[in-house]
A and B are shown apart, each in its own frame.
Chain A
């Protein structure tokens, strides 16, 4: 790429330089677009660097935005509230509550159990639903595309940003629950759902597994929300549609007569994280869940791509 050449001259246009200077800068640039394309190693490297730069800009925007920070705050506080509530209730009737009271590590699993159906999808749905529709609504989408960000490239980086946010959200829940558990309750070897007990270190490993599985489930939801986000110019619409779908899916899941469609619902695979709490780890259950997540990502990603690359940007 002729990155340094023309751009190194900075504002030669506004500085009012002669006509031939812009003609000179046109030459190498024009060639670099046709000849030094993505196939050539140097072009590819420059392309990756530029992609990383835009992704960093996306991530910076996501994690600096007050609304998203508030969402992350909620994600950090919920495990704390659960912990404090269990502590206040004392050794209780409920066996699960009793387990948490007996071992702080279990609070992490409790937190995901409580937050996976709605709280985590809310946070990821807001960021992913906003990703394209929000830019369209602000009008910034037209300026990103004339920059030119490239439609496919922008969509891919928007999704990468959603995945980063999903991972961060799940990690935050895990860390917040872990810290709360360590502070409020005794800690020791973990008794699994299957009855056997594993040492503390392996318990921490299992927590990591749970968080990763949850992040994969949220990444699949993110792909769905991204696809919806390409269909509208109002981010509230995209976010609300995503959340309504999440709730409806979980209602359908609870109706026994509709058991046939259950395997096709994204939400019914989220609870699969408890496979990490069995001995040995229920790899086929979790593996199937991951396959479903991957299928959702591919299908929704294709829909988003087909729509976004052909859509008229009139906002």
Chain B
């Protein structure tokens, strides 16, 4: 039940400069042992978007990212980043953070960044010192540049991994849970950094569990559930796809429930001291009038717009256990 709202049809054939930053068509990964991690994923990330890639644990976000970056071969389907025929051709213009930081423990933070810069054939060795210093400064690690990675704290490691994505000019940043392990200041910094980078025209593809955060920085959202994309669109589109509810505070909750039913509202949930129902297109003032006509003691009345979390839970289910 994919509710694809923002479909871009002939995206695969688009030119490198103008086309979408990421396109996948029928992208599927079945791991040895039969586990389907990603199931016929059709994803389109427009250039310049900050795309929030959401989904419960084990829903296939990291596996998708690995396929986009060419680390994992898809079982079937195809993907393309920055319009390139193969990931390697585009990767030099991509900064990637995949499933947490990984560095050489016996090297300093700066030496680690130099190491990865040396692996990029198009990086200019003459500017590496400046670029490393700027990237470290960008994530607030300038003071710890000479410290061995082994001695870094969890958050410092995460920051170093983000610094590594900023070593060159990037057209696309792929960030798999970038704020994992960061303190509130760090989280805010990363959010600002992503906004900054996006303001410079770079497309950002960010997977996260922190819905409040995604809500604050993303322009587009895709929601994964057990390997499938269950929703894709702009934040506004996604919010409007789920209906607001009306909440009535009243001592006569069963009477109120009957009155709301009579009014034609659905999905009514009575609780001690209150009743709530799906408002749909109904006007709240009409509902209020109807309740008052019935002589129900209305103590409070509220229209509740769903948070992204509500949308998310609605799309991916209430279940807490991971599906495997």
A residues lining the B interface (CB < 8 Å): 1, 3-4, 6-23, 25-27, 29-30, 32-33, 46-47, 50-51, 53-54, 56-57, 61, 64-66, 138-140, 142-150, 153-154, 310, 312-314
Contacts and interface: CB of A to CB of B under 8 A. Distances in A.
A22 B201 contact: yes
B7 interface: no
Given A3-B122, A142-B102, A312-B72, A147 B116 contact: yes
Nearest to A7: B124
A61 B111 CA distance: 10
A13 B122 contact: no
10 contacts: A7-B123, A11-B138, A16-B199, A54-B118, A142-B99, A143-B98, A143-B119, A145-B70, A154-B119, A312-B72
Contacts of A19: 48, 200-201
Contacts of A21: 200-201
Contacts of B82: 26
A30 B122 CA distance: 12
B73 interface: yes
- By secondary structure, the B interface counts as loop
Interface stretch (B84-92, B215-223, B249-257, B316-324): B84-92
A20 B201 contact: yes
Contacts of A15: 200
B72 A313 contact: yes
Contact of A310 (B48, B73, B115, B121): B73
- By secondary structure, the A interface counts as helix
Contact of B118 (A1, A9, A57, A145): A57
- For the complex of A and B, 7 pairs with smallest distance between CB atoms: A139-B102, A19-B201, A148-B91, A147-B119, A50-B121, A57-B118, A149-B119
Contacts of A3: 122, 124
Given A142-B99, A312-B71, 17 more contacts: A6-B122, A7-B131, A13-B168, A13-B200, A14-B138, A16-B197, A19-B48, A26-B171, A32-B122, A53-B125, A61-B115, A66-B106, A145-B70, A148-B91, A148-B119, A148-B121, A314-B71
Contacts of A6: 122, 168-169
Contacts of B119: 54, 57, 143-144, 147-149, 154
Given A14-B134, A14-B166, A14-B193, A140 B102 contact: yes
A146 B134 contact: no
Given A12-B200, A61-B115, A150-B121, A143 B93 contact: no
A13 B98 contact: no
Contacts of B99: 139, 142
A16 B196 contact: yes
Interface in B89-127: 89, 91-96, 98-107, 114-125, 127
B5 to A, nearest CB: 24
B143 interface: no
A144 B95 CA distance: 12
Interface string B124-164: 11010011001100100000000000000000000000001
B324 to A, nearest CB: 16
